[in-house]
Amino acid sequence: MKEAEGNSIALWRRVAAMFYDSLLLGAVLIAATALVLPFNKGVAISPGNLIFLLYLLAVSYLYFGWFWTHGGQTLPMKVWRLRALGNDDKGLSWGQAAIRFAMALISWLAFGMGFWSCLWNPNYSTWHDRCSGTKLILVRKSD
């Protein structure tokens, strides 16, 4: 199946990048957990610990925010040739990254509807694209 022309990004490409990002983020969160275990005397952190959950959320935001504001691509986005840009074709600000991240979480909480919305939106944008003033582009292969 061929992707549509222009700025449209096939949903399968987005999902593939998200899957690989989830694997990398999982590794980052394991490392982040290992960093705080000594402060808990090496004991596992109790489930539902709000401070720890907020810490992991902040680490997750820093993971995506750093890559989005420094080149617009996480490693999986590079593999799948995707780049996040502002609607002005410039890089993302930290504010745009924060809105994009928060809306992506809301999209997931709504059973992925924010991601699926790219299928019926004329600009192929997701909720987090529209709310943050960003877009996802397909990077051309360099020969």
**Concatenated DSSP letters of 64-104:** HHHHHHTTS--HHHHHTTEEEEETTSSPPPHHHHHHHHHHH
The beta-strand segments (E) located in the chain are: 82-86, 134-138
Confidence band of 11 (pLDDT split at 50, 70, 90):
confident
Confidence band of 8 (pLDDT split at 50, 70, 90):
low
> What residues does each domain of the chain span?
11-138
In one-letter notation, the amino acid at residue 27 is: A
What digits encode the pLDDT tens for the residues 57-99?
A: 999 999 999 999 999 999 999 999 999 999 999 999 999 999 9
Closest CA to 82 of 31, 136, 36: 136
Tokens for 40? 């808990």
pTM of the model: 0.88
Question: What distance in Å separates the CA atoms of residue 60 and residue 111, rounded to the nearest whole number?
Answer: 19
